[in-house]
Amino acid sequence: MTTRLRVSDLALARVAAHRARAVPGVVMLVGDVAQTLLGLAADWLPREPVPAELRTRGVVATVHGTRAEVRVTVAVRFGAECASLAARVRAEVAEEITATTGLVPRVRVTIAEIALPD
């Protein structure tokens, strides 16, 4: 008997966001314009607060059968070597997705901000 598992886009995004936030040098996830607008609209709707570790702002994820398309947008610490940090985020998010969901991920990382020291 074959067991079938369906992973939702939201579940995939939560796995990716959780792992991306944990990479040293990542300050925060940064939502794109569409996510920002949806977030503003969602503020007007009654809902349960979502714990920080489950928020997906800065991650867009889509499941296509056994494949996963994931876009992660981050802010990094000033002084971080951006190319290697982006590669590390990509690798760690992909590894976590594979280990957690069994999907074959394609992860793209955008560094949208560099956080300057106070």
Per-residue pLDDT of the chain (118 residues; tens, 9 = 90+): 666 778 899 999 999 999 999 999 999 999 865 555 555 455 555 555 666 656 788 999 999 999 999 999 999 999 999 999 999 999 999 999 999 999 999 999 999 999 998 7
CATH number for the domain that contains residue 105: 3.30.70.1350
Total domains, the chain: 1
Residue 48 lies in a domain: no
Question: Hey, is 3 helix, strand or coil?
Answer: coil
Residue 2 lies in a domain: no
Q: What is the pLDDT of residue 68?
A: 95
pTM of the predicted protein model: 0.81
* Residue 53: φ, ψ to 5°: -70, -10
Separation between Cα atoms, residue 105 and residue 107, nearest integer Å: 6
Radius of gyration, CA atoms only, the chain: 15
Residue 18 lies in a domain: yes
Residue 45 lies in a domain: no
Residue 44 lies in a domain: no
What range does the domain containing 59 cover?
9-38+54-115
CA distances from 70 to 44, 63, 67, 104 (A): 27, 9, 10, 11
